[in-house]
Structure 1
Amino acid sequence: MSNETATTGSDSITASVTAVAGSKGLIIGNGLISIIIGVLLLSYPKGVLVTITFFLGLWLLLAGLAQIIGGFTANLDGGSRAAL
């Protein structure tokens, strides 16, 4: 007998996200990107603001579509999800 517990897909995803969220590289990268965007906004407020707004809108659009597709495919098996 082993003492291992069975994990579901959701448990492994949660563990992966938790491991990545604590990564020093991601924290440093996020800080650098924030500083760069802040400097650009202070240097060229109008042009950079329009560009950032465009990319933020595009990101939100794609994230929303991914969530809608994920909602429809939540109960499908792996092969059916891969087809989408």
Structure 2
Amino acid sequence: LLDCVENVCTRERVQASHEWLRKLAEKSNGNLRRALCLLECSVSQNGHNLDKQPIVEPEWEGYIRDIAKLIVQTPTQNGLLDIRN
């Protein structure tokens, strides 16, 4: 995974330390698709020098997490209607 992501960084001219890439691999749980998604989000938000930047998650993941939390808190029909609105 690290070799693949490092290769992508080289080809896309993204500067990221080995430590940053290791954190990316850890945060992606070894999932290459997720690692590339996190890399893309981080580059789009922070530019091509990622060494001291945080790893950025996609916005939609936060929305899904919030919706799931609301569903668990209020598992009723009215709760689902509130979520839809």
Question: What TM-score results when the alignment is normalised by the length of structure 1?
Answer: 0.30
**Which structure is richer in relative contact order (CA contacts within 8 A, separation 6 or more)?**
2
- When normalised by structure 2's length, the TM-score is 0.29
Judging by fraction of residues, say which structure has more helix. Answer: 1
